[in-house]
Every structure is written in structure tokens, then in C-alpha cells.
Amino acid sequence: MTTRFGLHSFLSLLCFILLTFSSSAQQQDTLTIGQSLTDGQSLVSSGGSFRLGYFRPENSSSRYLGIWYGARVPTQTVVWVANRGAPISDTGGFLNLTREGILVLSDGDRNNLAVWSSNVTRRVSPTSGFVAQLLESGNLVVRDAADENPDNFLWQSFDYLTNSLLPGMKIGRNLTSGLNRTMRSWRSGEDPAEGDFSVLIETEGYPQLLVRRGTAIQFRAGSWNGLRFTGVPSLNPSPTFSFEYQYDEGEEVYFRFAVPNNTVVSRYAISTSGLLQHLTWSNRTGEWIVIGTAQGDRCQNYGLCGTYASCYGSRAPACECLTSFSPRNPSDFSRSAWEEGCVRRTALACNSSDGFILHSSVKLPDTAVARWNRTIGLAECRRLCLGNCSCTGYSSLDIRNGGSGCLMWFDDLIDIRELADRGQDLYVRVAGSEIRAAIQGNQGRTVIMIASVVSSLVALLVILGILLYARKRKLEQKETPKTNEEMDLPTFDLSTIVDATNDFAIGNKLGEGGFGPVYMGKLPEGQEIAVKRLSTSSGQGMSEFKNEVILFAKLQHRNLVRLLGCCIHEDEKMLIYEYMPNKSLDFFIFDETQRKLLNWQRRSIIIDGIVRGLLYFHQNSRLRIIHRDLKASNILLDKELRPKISDFGLASTFGGDQTEGETKKVVGTFVYMSPEYAVDGLFSVKSDVFSFEVLVLEIVSGRRNRGFYHTDHDLNLVGHAWTLWNEGAALGLIDDSLKESCNESEALRCIHVALLCVQQRPEDRPNMSAAVLMLGSENPLPEPKLPGFYLRRNPPEADTSCSANQVSITVMEPR
């Protein structure tokens, strides 16, 4: 009996030890020679950020060895797969490390058949054996166990990308060894085998980043210009992300990104449909958020417009021949069949009589046919290009510090697009006679003349300059807006707009703003438009009209309403926009029936879209812009209920590092104004932050700040939110129609951030980028201080003036 009890106790102790060892082994980050990683076991990086183990894709019976995120991302997201094309049939897989330092994955259910190996070609004699380790970066490495150099690897998974690019991963080519680090999409959501799409840096000609489908180019991010890829203007370093591009000729070319403070979980991924996206994990929503997509519009389709043509993402039609070029097939081009592109109107003379026309702010053409020189400037670049008959254009290689280096093209130019923000200068070679025609036609292109151009042409330039100056003075005196050429916007004939709007019929009228009525119309080709007609009785309309036209000529963003053109005919002045079928945000959130169509997820998307537009205004556009009239009626919704900011008549622009201004004429909508603007005429990016968060409170509550009524007090909506916050009852602000769909923690955080942004003192408010991080994280937030204008103050009625501290206030409400 004693013997049995002792044996039983011993066996129990032995089982406990084995289970403890097994559990401990499952949490280790290394695999040594002689160990096996079997199904059900995993390696976990030292900080728990990544896990290596076996997984089965959804709706699949096959198993794979892969790496996915650890505790920071509760939803399994696989970022690397070993046996992409050779799945394991069941749970019999095991991973071993050989004495030669090779990782081998075998399928025990198929007689230990090896289905994948790391295939190390470099032979190394370790001092104390090899070890495989999963690093905190997500990199699976094989190294000498005694080597203290953290970057000395025999093999690493970071060299063999699948569909994801993690911080620290390189995408590119080692020109010495031939190693080509390429991202490849999954075949489908259930099959991680290599799909149709790949992302790589192509080294033919001057290196550039491409997305291919098979061997065909689908998207071209372009060459690196010192700051970003020329076709991805949104790729900008920030406190959250940094980017590195390295090109050592004959050695290596690569791109990688980093998250300096490890503040967010972020990756790039190529989807099964070929979209290259930048994603971050949102703790607030519990999902991956797309913060950038390389293929933002149809102009990103490679070669959409053919040769010697440029694509305009905000215009219809999208493609237009470059100056001095004509469609190769005019009938096809007019039917939007642009593939054959454009050809020269006049053949090159191949001597010094040729010249160059500057196309500003563009995505540079395909550099597969380009040559480069890092040591010379633009002047020498132009001379070299002019001296070679095959040279078709040139540009700066590096745009930093005013530009340096030379990039020249030696074949037809293709895949050009206009970029309103962060494009580059491209000098296109044309015949001398075309330069003269461009000047005489005043086609709105800067013309670069060669020194040998005849003196008569110089005289013509002088005369033209005098005429333009006189014309400018005349226009200023008459207070008429800039011409189409100066604005770089298409114009519409009055007759076209009259026909489109059925002679401005009452049935086509969409609404009435402070500067005039807005009509719905349809152009002959079927495109629906919105026509904003300047009222002749508006005493303020002319300057706002000019301001809006000039701004729209410089701006392009998915969350801004597109300006298609303008119509100027005698006293008639009109702006033609894209038509937004779902009207404005106030039509939904302040209507008892319509608000039910906007669940919490939809409202979150709307808030996010407005944030993106304001971030573009404040820090990402070429000019720093303060909207000054942000409100629900100026947020329009497209057919998918995505928001677009409109009405830039009151916007102010700053250059350089300027962030604030002052005016003696305060205009806008009182209930959205910050205190310092309404009282003292001081406006800044913090003024827009104040207005935005008043709007957020309206979106969350479904109630207007203006005219808000509560039986217990005489406060406006901001004051009501402040009261509820102090009482610990902020959830009482949430719209009743959101009860079933609302994520209360997200809504509470929105209210918290909103109260921080409507604080009375501008210096207490966060800027937009800080507000974005606050909304998207779960980090603790400071307690808000007293908000501005939180009492009911009986604001002035519409279109009246009053004075406060010698400042004239004009309130236009509604518009």
C-alpha cells in the first residue's frame, strides 16, 4: 500500500514537472538544436509582441507555421508564413533546428516529409552551436548562440517577406548577393500561398517602388526624391512614423519604416486585391484602421493616360495631353480611351533651338528609362539633356535644400499625374516653335527658355509681361477673380450651366447660403454637379469667391469637396462642385428620422474623415489653412455617407511656420466660434480645433449647440456636456438612437477629447494631430478645464453686426 502510494506520488510529481516544463517551453523565445516545436506549442518574443506557431486560416482545413501579433493585438493577424505553398495536412507538424543552422518544418502525418526549410547557403562554424530566436520586432532569426552581435544572423525571416512589411523590415534588393526582398499577397483570405500581386523596388533604370500583378505594373509609387516616393505625397515623417530609403549603387537599395516611440502597432500590407495599405491597430475600435492607401484614385492606375499625358484625379475627363502634345487617336481620347496617349505636335530639331516646358507639382514619369547623376545641378542637367537628342525631359534627383542631382529620361514619358500637394517640377523637351505657341496661347505653364532663343522672342516676352501687368491692375481695380489660366481651373460656359440647371429652376435648387443659392445640375456627359451661384446682392461675396477659387486650385484631398471649375460671365460668378447626393451632415444628425441612419460606426467614420481633412489643412497641405467656419452644414456626405469638408470662402492661409492671425472683421457662425476669435478677432489652428469638437459633441448627441434646450438649466450643448461630465454622467449626452450600436467607451472618449478641445484658453487645447492620437489610443487623458462660451449668451441674429473690444463681428447663420 505504501509502495503504491509512493509510486503514485512520484508519477504525479513527474507529470507536474513535465507539464511545468512544457508550459515553460511554450513561452520561451528560442529553439535550440535537438528541440522540436510541435503543434500546440509556440515561441513568444521576450516582450510578448509576437508569437511563432501553427495556425489554420478561417474556412480552411490546412495548417501553416507562421508569425502573428501577441497580446497587443487580440485578433490573430498573421504577418509571416513559412510554408506558404506547402500546407501541413493535420496537427503533425514539427519544427527543428539542424546542427548546420537550418530550420526544417516537417509533416509527421506524411512520414516526416520536409515541407519547408530556411535553406541557409552560407556555411558558418559556430563557437557554441546555433539557436533560433523570435525577436521582439517579429523577426525569426538563426544565430550563433555565443555571438553577442545583435545583427549578425545566419538567416532571418525579415529577408523573406510575405504580405506584410513590419517596422524595421527592408523591402528592396541586395545588389551584391541578389537577394530581392519582395512583398507578395496571399492568394485569398483562406490561402496564404503567393497571390497575384507583389510589391518590390524595381532596379531597372533609376530604382522605384512598384506594385505588380504578375509581370504587369499596376501601380508605381515612383522614385525616391530625398523625402518620399514621388507618387505618394502623403508619405511624410512624423513623431509617430519615420522612413528610411537607402541606395548604394552596386550594393543595396531598400526602403523601411519605423515607429520611433513604439506608440502604435503598425504595418504595411498588400491585400489579395492588390491594394498597398498602411494600417494601425486601434484599441478604441478593436480593429485594423487603414490610415493610408497608395492607390487613392484612378490616376494611380499605371499608365492610365498613356504617353505624354497627365492624369487629374479631381477632373472630368481625367486625362489631358501635356502642353505641345496632341492625342495620338483623337476619337478614342475623347471617349476616355486614353491608353494610346499623346504625341508631339512638332518634331524636335535636336539642337539648341529646342526648349523645355515646366510642369509643376507632378508625379515624375516612369524612371525605368531614366539616367541620373548625383553631383550636378539643374543647369548642367538641362545642358546635358539638350545635348542628347534622345533625352525627353529632366528633373531634380533630390528635392531637399532647394534641389540637387540630375534625373533625365531617354524615352517616352508615361504615368504622369498632377499632384496638388508635394509634387515635383518636371521639364519636358519640346520644339522651339511650341515654346512660342505656349507663350502666345498663355497656357498657364512656366516656360524655360534656352539662352540661344532669338531676340525677337525675348521682346515678345517683355511685351507680354507689360500686358499681363496692365491686365492684373485692371482686374484688381474691378475686384474680379483671377482668370482660368491664373487659377489653373477649367471654366464652364454660362450656356452650359444654364442648360445643366434647367435655367436655375426652383426644382433644382439645393439650398441658400450666405453668398447665394446652390443648384443641382447635370452636364451633357451625364455628370451631376452642384452650382454655387454668387448673389449680386451679397456685399461680401466677391472676396470669398476669389478665396475659395484660389484655395481649391491648390488643394486635393479625399475629405474635401472637389471643385470642378468655375463660370465667370459679366456679373455672373459661379463655382461648380462635385454633387453630393446625401446633402450635409446637419440634414441627418438633427432630424429625428434621418439620424437613425447614422449608427455609431458610421458616425465614427464621419468624425475620422473630418479629422483627416483638418489634419491636411493644418499640417499636410502646401499652405497651412484655417477653415474658420467649420460646422455641420459645411460637412457634405457622398453616396456612401463619407464626409467632405466644404465652403472655403472664409478660410485663411498661412505660409512657413505661421500658425495664427488677427482680424478686425470676425465672420462665421457664432455658436462654433472659439472665444478668442469671437471676442478679440484672434484665430489659429486652435480655433478650428474648438469648432471641430463642438461639432463632435453634436455628432455624438444628435443635438445642436445653437438652440439647445434642457429643462434643468439654461446652458448650451457645450455647457450641458460640461455639467454631465462633472456629475460623472457624461454617457447621458449620447443620442438615444445610438443605444443599440454605440460603443460606450469610444463615445465617452470622444466626449472627453471634445471637452479638452473646447477649453477656454487656446494653449490648453491640443492641436489636431494630438487630438487624433487621443481619440485613437487608450492612454490616460488629462481632466478638461472650463470650456469657452458654455453659457447661453443669446448670440446675435443672422447677418447682424456688433462690436466687442473694437472688433466688428459679422455673424452669418445659417449659410
388 pLDDT more than 80: yes
Main-chain phi, psi angles of 346, to 5 degrees: -135, 130
Question: 674 burial class (0-12, 13-18, 19+ CB within 10 angstroms)?
Answer: buried
Helix (H) or strand (E) holding 32: strand 30-32
Calpha distance 611→753 (Å, rounded): 13
Q: What is the CATH number of the domain that holds 804?
A: 1.10.510.10
CATH number (domain holding residue 110): 2.90.10.10
CATH code of the domain containing 175: 2.90.10
pLDDT at 370: 95
Angle formed at CA 223 by CA 173 and CA 321, multiple of 5 degrees:
140
Task: Tell me the pLDDT band of 457, cut-offs 50, 70 and 90.
Answer: low
C-alpha 187, offset from chain centre: 26
Whether 395 and 364 have beta carbons less than 8 Å apart is answered as yes
pLDDT band for position 572 (50/70/90)? Answer: confident
Domain membership of residue 18 (yes or no) is no
CA distance 410 to 206: 12
Say yes or no to pLDDT of 568 above 50. Answer: yes
How far is Cα 364 from Cα 396, in angstroms, rounded to an integer? 10
Specify the CATH number for the domain of residue 521.
3.30.200.20
Question: Rounded to the nearest 10 degrees, how much is the dihedral formed by the CA atoms of 466, 467, 471, 477?
Answer: 40
Alpha-carbon separation of residue 112 from 92, 97, 120, 623 (angstroms): 9, 15, 20, 64
Residue 714 annotated to the active site: no
Whether the bond into 150 is cis, omega within 30 of 0:
no
CA distance 770 to 261: 15
Give the span between the Cα atoms of 750 and 699, in whole angstroms: 10
- Are 571 and 592 part of one and the same domain? no
Res 448 pLDDT > 80: no
Looking up cell 494601425, which residue turns up? 280
778 domain residue, yes or no:
yes
Give, in degrees to the nearest 5, the angle at Cα 423 between 278 and 529.
85
Grid cell at residue 646: 466644404
> Which residues sit opposite 206 in a β-bridge?
none
374 and 505 in a single domain? The answer is no
Do 209 and 218 meet the contact criterion of CB atoms below 8 Å apart? no
The answer to whether residues 366 and 434 belong to one domain is: yes
Query: Of 266, 293, 320, which residue constitutes the final position of a domain?
Result: 293
Q: Which long-range contacts (CB under 8 A, 24 or more apart) does 517-520 make?
A: 520/579
Give Cα 600 to chain centroid, integer Å. Answer: 24
Residue 801 pLDDT > 80, yes or no?
Answer: no
pLDDT in tens, 735-753: 999 988 998 888 999 999 9
State the pLDDT at residue 24: 40
Q: Are residues 604 and 751 in the same domain?
A: yes
Give the residue among 706, 757, 421 at the shortest CA–CA distance from 586.
706
Q: What does the angle CA 69 – CA 75 – CA 77 come to, to the nearest 5 degrees?
A: 45
Range of the domain at 310: 299-463
Query: Are residue 655 and residue 673 in the same domain, yes or no?
Result: yes
pLDDT confidence tier of residue 264, bands split at 50, 70 and 90: confident
Intra-chain end-to-end CA distance of the chain, in Å: 95
Sign, CA torsion 154/159/164/168: positive
pLDDT at 19 over 70: no
Would you state the pLDDT for residue 786? 87
Residue 618 and residue 755 in one domain:
yes
Angle between helices 744-757 and 685-701 (to 10 degrees): 150
pLDDT at 646 over 90: no
Please check whether residues 456 and 540 belong to one and the same domain: no
Q: Are residues 176 and 273 in the same domain?
A: yes
Band the pLDDT of 650: cuts 50, 70, 90.
low
Whether 809 has a pLDDT exceeding 50, the answer reads no
Does the pLDDT at position 315 exceed 80? no
Single out the residue in 578, 610, 628 at which a domain terminates. 578
Question: 245 Cβ partners below 8 Å, 6+ apart?
Answer: 224, 254, 255
List beta partners, residue 418.
Answer: 362
Higher pLDDT residue, 40 or 491? Answer: 40
What percentage of the chain exceeds 90 in pLDDT?
44
Element (H, E) at 487: helix 484-487
CB within 8 Å of 796: residues ≥ 6 apart? 670, 802, 809, 811
Q: Which pLDDT tens digit goes with each residue over 149-172?
A: 777 899 999 999 999 999 999 999
Q: Do residues 783 and 640 both lie within one domain?
A: yes
Name the DSSP letter for residue 274. S
- Give every CB contact of residue 485 below 8 A, 6+ residues apart in sequence: 442, 443, 444
Give burial (CB, 10 Å; 0-12/13-18/19+) of 437.
middle
pLDDT tier for residue 375 given thresholds of 50, 70 and 90: very high
Residue 234 located in a structural domain: yes
Provide the domain count of the chain: 5
For residue 725, the tally of other CB atoms under 10 A from its CB is 19
- Residue 456's identity, in one-letter code, is S
Pairing of strands 807-811, 665-668: parallel
What pLDDT, on a 0 to 100 scale, did the predictor assign at position 123?
A: 67
Helix, strand, coil percent values for the chain (each to nearest 5): 25, 30, 45
Predicted local distance difference test score (pLDDT) of residue 421: 66
Selection from 88, 137, 104 nearest residue 35 by Cα: 104
Asked if residues 154 and 120 have their Cβ atoms less than 8 Å apart, the reply is: yes
pLDDT the model gives residue 139: 97
CA–CA distance, 39 with 22 (Å, rounded to integer): 13
Task: Provide the pLDDT confidence category of residue 566 given band limits of 50, 70 and 90.
Answer: confident
Contact 205, 370 (CB under 8 A): yes
Instruction: Count CB neighbours of 96 within 10 A.
Output: 18
User: 515 lies in a domain?
Assistant: yes
pLDDT (mean) for 84-97: 89
Residue 485, domain member (yes or no): no
Looking at the domain assignment, is residue 1 inside a domain? no
CB 488 within 8 A of CB 563: no
Alpha-carbon distance of 59 to 236, in angstroms, equals 39
Task: Report the distance separating Cα 810 and Cα 803, nearest Å.
Answer: 9
Pick the range with the lowest mean pLDDT from 88-92, 185-189, 541-545.
541-545
Q: What is the pLDDT of residues 49-86, one digit of tens each?
A: 999 999 999 888 899 999 999 988 999 999 999 999 99
* Residues 663-698: tens digit of each pLDDT: 545 555 666 777 776 666 777 778 888 888 889 999
The whole-model pTM stands at 0.57
Is residue 398 over pLDDT 80? yes
Q: Residue type for 10, please?
A: F
Write down the catalytic residue from 39, 366, 586, 629.
629
Of residues 144 and 556, more confidently modeled? 144
Is the domain of 192 the same as that of 341? no
User: Is pLDDT above 70 for 811?
Assistant: no
Q: Give the pLDDT of residue 481.
A: 41
pLDDT at position 183 over 90:
yes
Tell me: pLDDT of 114 over 70: yes
Which among 726, 729, 561, 715 is positioned nearest to 638, based on CA atoms? 561
Residue 772 host element (H or E) = helix 768-776
Residue 7: its pLDDT value, please?
A: 45
Q: Mean of the per-residue pLDDT values for the chain?
A: 81
* 421 and 498 housed in the same domain: no
- Name the residue type at position 753: V
Using alpha carbons, select from 610, 758, 762, 786 the residue that is nearest to residue 683.
762
> Which residue, of 123, 158, 193, is where some domain finishes?
158
> In whole angstroms, what is the distance from residue 37 CA to residue 96 CA?
7
Within this chain, do residues 166 and 189 fall inside the same structural domain, yes or no? yes
Is the predicted pLDDT of residue 261 greater than 90, yes or no? Answer: no
- Alpha carbon distance 642, 585 (integer Å): 10
